[in-house]
Amino acid sequence: MTAMNAAAAQEGLRQGMGLADARAVLPHLLVEQSAIKADEKALSALAHWCGRYTPWTTVDAHGANPLTGGRDSILMDVTGCAHLFGGEERLLSDLMARLAEFGIEARAALADTPGAAWAVARFSDMDGAGHSIVSPGGSRDVLGPLPVTALRFAPETLENFDRLGLRQVKDLLALPRAPLARRFGPPVARRIDQALGFEDEPISPVMPVVPYRVRLAFLEPVGRVDDIAYALTTLLEQLCPMLNEDQRGVRRLTLDLFRVDGEVESVTVGTSRPVRTTEHLARLFAGHLEQIDAGFGIDAAVLSASLTAPLSEVQVELPGEAGGGRTQGNADLSLLVDQLGNRLGMDKVCRLEARESFVPERAVVTVPLAAGGAAAGDPDLGEQSEPLWPAHLKRPLRLLSAPEPVQVVAEVPDGPPVLFRWRRDTHRVARVDGPERIGPEWWRGAGPGSQQARDYYRVEDQEGRRFWLFREGLYATADVHASSVQDEPQPRWYLHGMFA
Amino acid sequence: MTGSSLFFSNEASFSDKSSLLADLKDRIAGIESAGSKVVTDRPTGVVPLGVADLDDALPGGGLARGRLHEVTSTGGRSKRTRLEGDVAALGFAAALVGRAAGDEGAVLWCTNQKSLYHAGGLHGPGLSVFGVDARRLVLIDGADDTQVLWAMEEGLRSGALDAVAGEVGNLTLAASRRLQLAAEAGGGLGLLVRVSTKKTAKTVTAASTRWEVAVAAGESVESLEGLGAARWDVRLARCRGGSERRWQVEWNHETHCFAVVAPMAGQPAVPGAAPAAGEDTGQVVTLPRRALG
C-alpha cells in the first residue's frame, strides 16, 4: 500500500502494509492500483493551478513517500501575496476549501522556510482545520518535538540517527554543529540550516516568473467569451501603463484562465516587435478566446508578459516605411503581421533580405519578420533610396530551390545551349543571352557555388518561355576530345530559374 | 459593346444616353458595394497601367483599388507545361502589384507551399525587375489555399497595404466574394494569381477584372543581342464595366512601364463569335433593327 485516505489511516492502516494485511484489518477496503505517472501529472497540474495564489509554485522535488519515490507536495512562496487574499490565515483556508471542493485531502503549512513548512505539513499535529501557520521566528520551537525524519535527510543518515538515539529534531539541534557536520556530512548541516532559515532555499517555479503580471479574480465564475474578452481588456489596461512606465513593449503575452475545477486554460500570443497598445494586443487574442473551454466557469485570470523588449515612446518604424504620415499605416501593418503570425506561425511571415553574394541562392534570404531585432537594427536602413540589388542584374522571377540537372546539347567547350531536356520536356532554344560567369566563392567552405564557376545563360525556347540555365565547371583546356582519357569531372548543366 | 459608338450616331441622343448610362453605372456600383458598410479613409482610386491602350479598356482609366482582380495563365493546360506559363502570369501580376504599390506602398504576397515545391520560390531580384521592392514586401508562406485566402483577406481588410497578391489554386465564388468585401473595406488592390488548371478557366469569381496571360511566342523581331524585354500575350477576359480586349504587351524593366506591341485588332471578342464585318474596309454597317428604334 502506497497511500490511503484519512479514514483508512484512522482504522489503523499504514503505508507499506501488504494488501492482505490491510484487508484483514479492514475487510471492506476499496483498493485502486497506484499510478505514479498519473499522480505526478495531476500534481504538476495542481501546481500550475496554485499559480492563482502566487507565481512561485513548484512541485516539491523531495517526496516523502518512500515506497513510490513519488513526489507528493507542492511548494509555494507566498511572500508578498498573502495580503491579496486577506492575510495568511485567509489564504490558507481559501486554499484548503478549494482543494476540498476538488475532493483532495491536503495538509498545508505556512512557515518561514520551505524546510519548516515541509516538516510541519507532514508531521505536526493539526487541529481540524488541516492547516497550520508557524509564527515568524517560531520554527525552532515548532520543529523541536517533530521526528528527525521531518528534516528531509537521506535514508542512511536516518538509520544512523536511529542507532545513535537521535529521535527528535530538538535532539539534533542540541548537538554542537561542527562535530555533527563532520560526523554525518555537510548535507545534514545544510538541511538543518534550511529548516531554520540560516540558509536560503530558492524555489524554482513551474511557470517562469515574469515581472509584468496582472491578476483579476471574478466574484462569480464566468464562461462567456464576451466576459473573458472584457476581463482581458481590463487586464491589458492595467498592464500597458506598467509597461509604459518602464518603456517596454510586449513580445509574448500569456493569458492564464483558472477554471473552478482546477484546470488552467492558457493562451499565448506573440508579436513581431514590441507592442504596448491595448487594442493591438486585444486583437491578437480575438480568434483564440472562442476556443477556450471554460468548463464550469473561470474564477480568476492572470495576464503575464513573459517576454518584453525595450520600446521607446515613438513607434518603431518598419524598414522601408520611413516617411511622415505613415505611422498609422505602420501600426496597422505590424498589427497585421502579428495577426498573420499568430495564426500561421511567426516563421511563415517573412521578408526578403539581400546578402553580399553573387551566387543566386545565397544572394537572398527569407527572414521571419518576427525577428524584429534584426529588422530594427538593420545597418543599411539609412540608404533607403538604394535598390537592394543592382538593377543591371537580370535575374529570374522564380528561382528553383535547388538547381535541377538538365540534359543539354551545346557546343563544346563553351557554346550556349541549343537544346535541353528538363522534366521530360524537350525545349529547342530560339534565343540566348549570355553567358554571365559567376565565379566560385572559394572563401566559403563546402556549399553551393563554392567549388566551380558557373556560366549562366538566359535562353528562350521556341514557344517564348524563358529559362535560366547554367553550366557548372569548365572543360579542361587541353584535349577536349580525348574525354575518355581524362578523369576530371565533366561540366554539368543545370536549370536554375524561370523568367516571366 | 463594340458597336456602341456606331450605334449612337445621333449626337444629341448620344450625350443624353451616355449620361444616363453613367448614372446607371454609378447606381449599380453603389448597389454592388453595398455589402461593406465601412467607409474607408484611404482614397479609393485607380492604378493606371501607364499605357493609353490598356487604360482605355478599363473603367476609370486603370485597375480600381479596393477591388479584387484576377490574373490567370493560359500557358499550358497540361500538368507539365503549366509551370512555365504560370511564370508569365506571375510576372504580369508582379508588374501590376509594383504599379499599385508605387514607391512607398507596402505589399503582401501570399504563396502556397505546394506551388513553391514545384516552381521554386519568388526571387527578390527578379521581383525588383517588376518594380516590387523587397523591403516593403511581406511574404506569407501558406500551407494550403485556405491559409492563403485567409491571409489575403486579413491583409486586404487591415487597410495597411496597397496591394495584396495571392497564389491560389481553386476557389469558390463565395471565397472570392469575401476577398472582394475585404478589399472594399481596406481599400487596397487585391490580386488573385491563379495557377492554371482545367477548372480555372471555368470558375466564376467576384473579381472585377480577369486577365489571361501567356508568353508571347517568339514573334518579335530578332533583337540585336540577347532576349529583349519580356513579352506577354495579355487578354482582358472579363472586365466589369469594360470590354474584352487583347494585346501583346512588353515590360520595360528600366522604366517599370508596360508597352503595347501590337494591338490585336480584329480578334473576336468572344471566341466563336463572328468578327464585326467590314471593320477593315471602313464601310458603314447596317445594324440590327433594335439599333434604329
CA-based nearest residue to A264, from A55, A62, A38, A104: A55
Give the model confidence (pLDDT) of A371-415 as tens digits: 554 343 333 333 445 667 777 778 888 888 888 899 999 887 788
Q: Are B137 and A351 in contact (CB under 8 A)?
A: yes
Non-local (6+) Cβ contacts of A121 within 8 A are A73, A107, A108, A109
pLDDT band at B164, cuts 50/70/90?
very high
Q: What residues in B contact A463, CB-CB < 8 Å?
A: 215, 217-218
Answer with the one of A148, A167, A196 that is the final residue of a domain: A196
**Sign of the CA dihedral running A330, A331, A332, A336:** positive
Is residue A424 less than 8 Å (CB to CB) from chain B?
yes
Answer with the one of A167, A196, A225 that is the final residue of a domain: A196
| Residue tagged 530578332 (cell numbers) | B222
Task: State the average pLDDT over residues B256-271.
Answer: 61
Q: Of the given ranges (A58-67, A263-272, A295-304, B137-146), which has the lowest mean pLDDT?
A: A58-67
Give the model confidence (pLDDT) of A444-483 as tens digits: 777 666 678 889 999 988 878 888 999 988 776 555 455 4
Task: State the average pLDDT over residues A201-227.
Answer: 79
pLDDT at position B293: 36
User: Buried b / exposed e across A12-31, counting CB within 10 Å, b at 16+?
Assistant: ebeeebeeeebeeeeeeeee
Compute CA distances A278 → A257, A266, A312, whole Å: 19, 19, 16
Give the model confidence (pLDDT) of B50-88 as tens digits: 888 888 888 888 888 889 999 988 755 555 555 555 788
DSSP A168: B
Give the model confidence (pLDDT) of A116-130 as tens digits: 888 888 777 776 667
Q: What residues in A contact B104, CB-CB < 8 Å?
A: 321, 323, 326
Q: Are residues A376 and A438 in the same domain?
A: no
All three cell numbers of B155, joined, read 491583409
Q: What gap in Å lies between CA A241 and CA A248, rounded to an integer?
A: 10
Q: Are residues A362 and A405 in the same domain?
A: no
- Whether residue A248 is contained in a domain is answered as yes
Q: Are residues A134 and A259 in the same domain?
A: no
AA letter at A2: T
Q: Could you give the angle at the alpha carbon of A433 between the alpha carbons of A428 and A439, nearest 5°? A: 115
Q: Write down the domain spans for chain B.
A: 45-219+226-292
- Whether residue A319 is contained in a domain is answered as no
% of chain A surpassing 90 pLDDT: 3
> Residue A161's Cα: distance from chain center in Å?
44
In this complex, which of B123, B141, B226 lies closest to A348 when CB atoms are compared? B141
Is residue A80 less than 8 Å (CB to CB) from chain B?
no
Q: Are residues A138 and A269 in the same domain?
A: no
Q: What is the mean pLDDT of chain A?
A: 78
pLDDT of residue A347 exceeding 90, the answer is no
In this complex, which of A323, A337, A354 lies closest to B138 when CB atoms are compared? A337
Contact A333 B160 (CB under 8 A): yes
Q: What gap in Å lies between CA A281 and CA A141, rounded to an integer?
A: 52
Non-local (6+) Cβ contacts of B31 within 8 A are none
Q: What residues in A contact B130, CB-CB < 8 Å?
A: 397, 500
| Residue tagged 495538509 (cell numbers) | A107
All three cell numbers of B269, joined, read 471578342
Contact B126 A431 (CB under 8 A): no
Q: Are A321 and B136 in contact (CB under 8 A)?
A: yes
Q: Are A392 and B226 in contact (CB under 8 A)?
A: no
- Whether residue A448 is contained in a domain is answered as yes
Non-local (6+) Cβ contacts of B266 within 8 A are B275, B279, B280
pLDDT of residue B191 exceeding 90, the answer is yes
Q: Nearest-CA distance from B163 to chain A in Å?
A: 12
Is residue A367 less than 8 Å (CB to CB) from chain B?
no
Non-local (6+) Cβ contacts of B51 within 8 A are B249, B257, B258, B259, B260
Q: What gap in Å lies between CA B175 and CA B179, rounded to an integer?
A: 6
CA end-to-end span of chain B:
17
Higher-scoring residue by pLDDT: A45, B268: A45
pLDDT at position B13: 53
pLDDT at position B68: 92
pLDDT at position B177: 92
β-pair partners for B47? B63
CATH number at residue A240: 3.30.1490.100
Q: Are residues A25 and A64 in the same domain?
A: no
Angle between helices A225-246 and A278-289 (to 10 degrees): 150
Instruction: List, in sequence order, every beta strand (DSSP E) within A179-287.
Output: 212-222, 248-259, 264-275
- Residues within 8 A of B (CB atoms), A 303-332 only: 318-321, 323, 326, 329-330, 332
All three cell numbers of A43, joined, read 500534481
The helix/strand/coil state of A186 is helix
Contact A389 B216 (CB under 8 A): no
The helix/strand/coil state of B24 is helix
Non-local (6+) Cβ contacts of A142 within 8 A are A111, A116, A120, A124, A134
Between chain A and chain B, how many beta carbons pairs sit less than 8 Å apart? 188
pLDDT at position A215: 84
Q: Nearest-CA distance from A334 to chain B in Å?
A: 9
pLDDT at position A130: 72
Q: What gap in Å lies between CA A7 and CA A75, rounded to an integer?
A: 25
Q: What is the mean pLDDT of chain B?
A: 74
Q: Are residues A42 and A174 in the same domain?
A: yes
pLDDT at position B267: 46
Q: Are residues A45 and A185 in the same domain?
A: yes
Residue B120's closest chain A neighbor by CA? A400
Q: Are residues A71 and A14 in the same domain?
A: no
In this complex, which of A384, A393, A398 lies closest to B119 when CB atoms are compared? A398
| Residue tagged 513573459 (cell numbers) | A306
Count, residues in chain B: 293
CATH, domain range B45-219+226-292 = 3.40.50.300
Give the model confidence (pLDDT) of A132-167 as tens digits: 888 887 778 888 888 877 777 777 788 888 888 888
Residue A339's closest chain B neighbor by CA? B154
Compute CA distances A78 → A5, A54, A81, whole Å: 27, 6, 5
Q: Are residues A64 and A184 in the same domain?
A: yes
CA-based nearest residue to B98, from B36, B165, B53, B37: B165
Please count the structural domains in chain A: 5
All three cell numbers of B171, joined, read 476557389
pLDDT of residue A11 exceeding 80, the answer is no
Rg (CA), chain B: 20
Q: What gap in Å lies between CA B45 and CA A113, rounded to an integer?
A: 71
Q: Are residues A47 and A133 in the same domain?
A: yes
Q: Nearest-CA distance from A443 to chain B in Å?
A: 24
Q: What residues in B contact A467, CB-CB < 8 Å?
A: 84
Q: Are residues A268 and A359 in the same domain?
A: no
pLDDT at position A317: 46
pLDDT band at B288, cuts 50/70/90?
low
- Whether residue A48 is contained in a domain is answered as yes
DSSP A28: T
Give the model confidence (pLDDT) of A252-302 as tens digits: 888 888 888 878 888 888 887 788 888 888 888 887 888 888 888 888 888
Is residue A283 less than 8 Å (CB to CB) from chain B?
no
Which residue range(s) make up the domain with A429? 398-499
Q: Are residues A245 and A272 in the same domain?
A: yes
Q: What gap in Å lies between CA A52 and CA A394, rounded to an integer?
A: 61
- Helices marked H in A211-356 — which ranges? 225-246, 278-289, 327-344
Is residue A428 less than 8 Å (CB to CB) from chain B?
no
pLDDT of residue A208 exceeding 60, the answer is yes
Contact A500 B222 (CB under 8 A): no
In this complex, which of A335, A433, A498 lies closest to B226 when CB atoms are compared? A433
All three cell numbers of A27, joined, read 475487510
CA-based nearest residue to A77, from A65, A64, A60, A90: A60
Give the model confidence (pLDDT) of B18-58 as tens digits: 888 888 877 777 666 554 444 444 445 888 888 888 888 88
- Whether residue A341 is contained in a domain is answered as no
